[in-house]
């Protein structure tokens, strides 16, 4: 599985600005990807997903972009709010099933 350090990358944005969180995934054969938000003391919360036959998917205030050529995912959050402050994980599905491999996470800090 993934092995990451204790010091998460941090992204600080001003309230109202747009946020872009990036993730490099590991396996070119992965066909399903999810972005999760995790607040302190809580379990990961589903934000948005995308399958490998798409390159963009939009939700409410969020957009996920998938670039299979360079194995890169991004999560865009529009008009970032204080409630968006959390750790964000991308997760890839390597095969049929629930064996999701999580990225190292990015801490989003929203400044007033």
Partner 1 sequence: DAGVTQSPTHLIKTRGQQVTLRCSPKSGHDTVSWYQQALGQGPQFIFQYYEEEERQRGNFPDRFSGHQFPNYSSELNVNALWLGDSALYLCASSPNPNTEAFFGQGTRLTVV
Q: For the segment 5-34, give every residue that binds partner 1 (CB under 8 A).
A: 5-8, 32, 34
- Among residues 4 and 111, whose Cβ is nearest to partner 1? 4
Over the range 67-97, which residues count as b (16 or more CB within 10 Å of their CB) and which as e?
A: eeeeeebebebeebeeebbbbbbbbbbeeee
| Of 11, 62, 78, 101, the one binding partner 1 by CB under 8 A | 101
- List of residues contacting partner 1 (CB under 8 A): 1-8, 32, 34, 36, 41-46, 49, 89, 91, 93, 95-105
């Amino acid at each position: 599985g993934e092995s990451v350090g204790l010091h998460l990358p941090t992204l600080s944005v001003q309230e109202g600005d747009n946020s872009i969180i990036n993730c490099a995934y590991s396996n070119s054969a992965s066909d399903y990807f999810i972005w999760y938000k995790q607040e302190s003391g809580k379990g990961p919360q589903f934000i948005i997903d995308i399958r490998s036959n798409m390159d963009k998917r939009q939700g409410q205030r969020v957009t996920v972009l998938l670039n299979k050529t360079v194995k890169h995912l991004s999560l865009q959050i529009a008009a970032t709010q204080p409630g968006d402050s959390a750790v964000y994980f991308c997760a890839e599905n390597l095969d049929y099933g629930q064996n999701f491999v999580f990225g190292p996470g990015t801490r989003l800090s929203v400044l007033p």
